[in-house]
Structure 1
Amino acid sequence: MATAMPSPITNTSYKPHPTEKMKAAQWMGTRSIQVGTVPKPTITDPSDAIVHVTHTTICGSDLHMYEGELNDAMQKGDIMGHEAIGFVEEVGSNVKRLQKGDRVIILPIIACGECQYCKRQEYSLCDTTDPSKEMEKMYGHRLSGILGYTHLCGGYPGDQAEYARVPIADLTCVKAPKDVDAKKLLGLADVTTTAWHGNELAEVGKGDIVGVWGCGPVGLSIQRLALLRGAKKVYAVDKDPLRLQLAESFGMTPVDVSAHPEVADYILSLQPHGLDRSIEASGFRSTQKPPHAAMRAIGLERDSSDMISAAIKATRKGGNIALIGDFFFNTNDFPIGAMMEKGLTVRGGQLSAQKYHPFLLDLVVQGKYDPSWMFTYEDNFENIADDYQKFSRHEIPGGLKVCLVTAYGRSLDK
């Protein structure tokens, strides 16, 4: 007998505090973020926590909304962000693992912990935390809710704000030591966890030859963690000179797409056997060849398979490919024949964040991995609108990621 799919939760709405206000980064349209003054959130459900945010950041995937790729899934005034840390100010009556004053990492994925997917630790496939009927219509099923990440993903207000309401807080928050550097913890909220997920999907292990498409914070993190997992060699594929230099300084073999536009052929000239594992971390906006740029420009496709096609060609027979770059819609000219005939395993999906904690936190606390390197710039949270523009244009000082400190976070540093 078929099992009915659970009903989605409905407490995604923003319940405002009757008197208190806060600053928050609000989406106002294409390339328009404002620091608005909005009501502070309150407990909406007994499983909620209210977190006083100390540090937050901008994710590469936030640029999909900023650049207008997902305007049809946004509403003016939406609060952005899904990477933050802070201190618990208040908990609902059903929260058991957290209490007021705890320092926490806020994870992006909202998972119920009770459905069949959560019980298999496939948290990003949660049945109940995204009520979007449009998502179900597009994909045939609902996926998990995500903080601050479009109404396709539940319409949850994000944590690029002075306070955040965190649903199902026992699963969405990771309790963290109070004496660990803030940038280490902030790097664990999404980037490091996503990078580990990419390595897991690709099954990177000892002695592997790995190719990673993309040298942004996630791509570089994937590369560094691949070496930590025992990879023999890692090719770092990008066209940004600074990021390629960073990859080389971390021990990778850089591949400049601008110099080698037929990147798969170039990699195979160096590695005739092919890559054991390939991981795409450049995002669906990455187009290298004119046909895909043209098709996107006139609306014939919304994602691009340029990088994936190169990965399929460069990967050895029977190898593994992981897709991390936030593909949402459709693409053309996809090499399905090569994928099938070469016997490749291709996997993707949002990070199952809860699955990898506290393991990754312990890795950092024990000094085996330090993710703070990704923050090449620090700024006050109030300047986030300017930093969105800098990040989009690759103008963040140091070339990678900004650590944004709220007024509360600055007060604790004094």
Structure 2
Amino acid sequence: MSYKVAPPVHKTDYKPHPTEKMKATQWMGSKTVKIGEVPKPTITAPKDAIVRITHCCICGSDLHMYGGEMDKYMQSGDILGHEAIGYVEEVGHAVHGFKAGDRVIILPVIACGECFYCEKEEYSLCDKTNPSKEMEDLYGHRLSGIFGYSHITGGYPGNQAEYCRVPNADLVLLHCPEDLPARKALALADVTDTAWHGVELAEVRKGDVVGVWGCGPIGLSIQKLSKEVRGASKVYAVDKDPQRLAIAESFGMIPVDASRVKPDDYILSIEPHGLDRGIEAAGFRFPNSVKHKVLRATGLEGDSSDTVSEIIRATRKGGNMALIGDFFFNTNNFPIGMLMEKTITLRGGQLMAQKYYPYLLNLVKEGKYDPSFVFTYIDDFENIPKEYEKQYNHEVPGGLKSIMVTPYGRELNQPV
């Protein structure tokens, strides 16, 4: 199939577009988003780039804002989204690695590349890109900025939009081959690198027995990467959704239906030694016990430790755990004694996307891993409000994730 390449636009510094508008996905309150008309972004710093979006999607973590858990950190009209690909339209004079017309993947983490943490390639811990005093008050430190992910991560406009301003473009953009289908390219923006981060944090090794709580796009990606790339001998896939459990089983994983069995008891009945690595990819939105459902409903805790407790119990002495499903606030009844006495190493955190390239891109280009399975439906950008509702209610056709094509993406007619 033939398709068009974006036309080049000249390199530039700040050039205001006071009358130019674009369409963008705006948060208007709990479970309310709309496609609104907003000013088109402009270059405001020498390291900025403006990217014209062709494809974007909804991350599972966007549902925290959609569902109301992050209301106190949102403002009406905020532009959502941190997974997108497109073409560079213009760049500031200090951008050296990209030029107008380049096809790019926008990474979600906005890092400076210069601070103590960036120098250690711990980009999601960047000291300089997040001005949120609220985060500093919560955690004692600020973490990196993230596109479209509330004001606690900097209040950056997201890229579920026709255009996006990308700060520190040389670090936050990734060159995307013209012949890479949109599904693969967009999966590399966040899902694949977040999943790889989980595999890295858990230190999955050849021959390991691994358990992954969560069979959404990221959980399934962790399972596949653990088995196909890292060489795990067995991978247990824990979820309540029958369609997602069936997908995991079709990939060769061992399904564990948390609606029918207590996952830790079930796994230990088969693996009395326990898991070598346990990975949480469900997050705080999914309490299992009545106790934690009541605690969350009454505001006595912000996060549930149900899945974390199960993983600690199912993991062998001296094993490793990773938290990839988002946790933001506080929890109760956390089994700290069991964690300590079993000598389990627990790590977590937001993805350090830039650290994992070009390795992940080459893995996909060479056909050693195909991340495109995470997209089970194609829709138009204008239908994003309906897609939020579908994803929140687990009603996306095919059971996983929709890829949204912008008017510009449709105009280019690229392979999806």
Question: Shorter-chain-normalised TM-score: which range?
Answer: over 0.9
Name the residue aligned to 1:253: 254
Deviations 1:213-260 (A, max 9, x none): 000000000000001211000000000000000000000000000110
Counterpart code for 2:111: A
Name the residue aligned to 1:230: 231
Name the residue aligned to 2:70: 70
Distance of 2:378 and 2:365 partners within structure 1: 22
Distance of 1:197 and 1:306 partners within structure 2: 22
TM-aligned CA deviation for residue 335 of structure 1:
0.2
Name the residue aligned to 2:127: 127
Distance of 1:147 and 1:340 partners within structure 2: 36
Which secondary structure state, in structure 2, belongs to the residue aligned with residue 184 of structure 1? helix
Distance of 2:17 and 2:375 partners within structure 1: 33
Name the residue aligned to 1:7: none
Distance of 1:17 and 1:148 partners within structure 2: 22
Size of the aligned set, in residue pairs, is 399
TM-aligned CA deviation for residue 17 of structure 1:
3.0
Name the residue aligned to 1:306: 306
Name the residue aligned to 1:89: 89
TM-aligned CA deviation for residue 16 of structure 1:
7.3
Deviations 1:14-34 (A, max 9, x none): x97301111100000000000
Deviations 1:274-320 (A, max 9, x none): 00000000011111000000000000001000000000000000000
**Structure 1 gap segments, 5+ residues each:** 1-14
Name the residue aligned to 1:317: 317
**After TM superposition, where is structure 1 displaced by more than 6 Å over at least 4 residues in a row?**
none
Q: Scaled by the length of structure 1, what TM-score is found?
A: 0.96
Which secondary structure state, in structure 1, belongs to the residue aligned with residue 128 of structure 2? coil
Output aligned runs, 1:391-406, within 5 Å: 391-406=391-406
Which secondary structure state, in structure 2, belongs to the residue aligned with residue 55 of structure 1? strand
Counterpart code for 1:158: G
Name the residue aligned to 1:268: 268
Name the residue aligned to 1:3: none
Name the residue aligned to 1:26: 26
Output aligned runs, 1:282-293, within 5 Å: 282-293=282-293
The answer as to whether partners of 1:54 and 1:86 remain within 8 angstroms in 2 is yes
Name the residue aligned to 1:205: 205
Distance of 1:189 and 1:180 partners within structure 2: 13
Name the residue aligned to 1:216: 216
The answer as to whether partners of 1:205 and 1:229 remain within 8 angstroms in 2 is yes
Q: Scaled by the length of structure 2, what TM-score is found?
A: 0.95
The answer as to whether partners of 1:47 and 1:95 remain within 8 angstroms in 2 is yes
TM-aligned CA deviation for residue 81 of structure 1:
0.1
Q: Does 1:346 align with 2:346?
A: yes
Distance of 2:195 and 2:359 partners within structure 1: 14
Q: Does 1:244 align with 2:240?
A: no
Q: State the superposition RMSD in angstroms.
A: 0.9
Distance of 1:136 and 1:410 partners within structure 2: 42
